[in-house]
Amino acid sequence: MSAPTVAALIAAGGTGERFGGDRGKQMALVAGRPVLAHVVSAFAKADSVGIIVLVGHPERLAEYESAVARFCGSTPLVMVPGGETRQESVAAGIAAIAQSWPFIAVHDGARPLVTPELIDHVVEALAEDSELDGLIVGHPAYDTLKQVDGDRITGSLDRDRCWMVQTPQIFRAPALRSAHAGAISAGSSATDDATLIEAAGGTLRVFLGPRDNIKITVAEDLMIAEAVLRHRGNG
């Protein structure tokens, strides 16, 4: 087995306003474990991952560490306080990662159904194509997509050219560092790291992932996650 090449950055700094509840979505229980514990466990079991950097709300770092530490196995865990936005939190996580790691995987802390196999497959595909700056997990859009202004439809998008983007998003570390530095200099922002790479002129490709790799956004999503884990035999 080759040495790990990936530093996994788990973005878990969100407040989960749409989810509600006292504990937030990262600490909601799915199959008896916090959502965040499922995430950390998957990355710890991936052969390509050598360190996990968990970025969380500064006031909840101790709580998060207590909830996930036992699921890390032998993989080192580094806790980093996040910023006001997701982009600032990811930048803080990147700053905590040593320059020696060639790849950085960025993953949502509320996306618990990711698997070690998916992580390793994406890393392998990225490593094999030296022209790529990153690979973004997702799947084709199957529903018709509309542009709207408020609730008024203003146009339609070509579904055949649209993908629903997930995480992990795995990048060559120098490209990701440069893209974040450029965004800071320009004062620009984005909702995911792939957009920053695009703005910097980087080369990205999509990687077909499973549709069940959902993000927990509202409480009803927990039922879906439970059902998927039961189907896998983990629930």
Q: Do residues 94 and 104 touch, judged by C-beta distance below 8 A? A: yes
CA distance 8 to 152: 40
pLDDT at position 20 is 52
pLDDT at position 23 is 65
pLDDT at position 232 is 87
pLDDT at position 94 is 98
Burial class of 83 by CB neighbour count within 10 A (0 to 12, 13 to 18, 19+): middle
CA nearest neighbour of 53 among 95, 25, 114, 14: 95
Domains of the chain: 6-232 (3.90.550.10)
pLDDT at position 22 is 57
pLDDT at position 15 is 55
CA distance 129 to 146: 34
pLDDT at position 1 is 54
CA distances to 6, 15, 55, 59 from 83, in Å: 23, 12, 9, 12
Q: Do residues 114 and 39 touch, judged by C-beta distance below 8 A? A: yes
Spatial neighbors of 183 by CB under 8 A, at least 6 apart, are: 87, 189, 190, 196, 199
The per-residue pLDDT string of the chain (235 residues; one tens digit each, 9 = 90 and over) reads 588 999 999 999 865 554 555 567 899 999 999 999 999 999 999 999 999 999 999 999 999 999 999 999 999 999 999 999 999 999 999 999 999 999 999 999 999 999 999 999 999 999 999 999 999 999 999 999 999 999 999 999 999 999 999 999 999 999 999 999 999 999 999 999 999 999 999 999 999 999 999 999 999 999 999 999 988 886 5
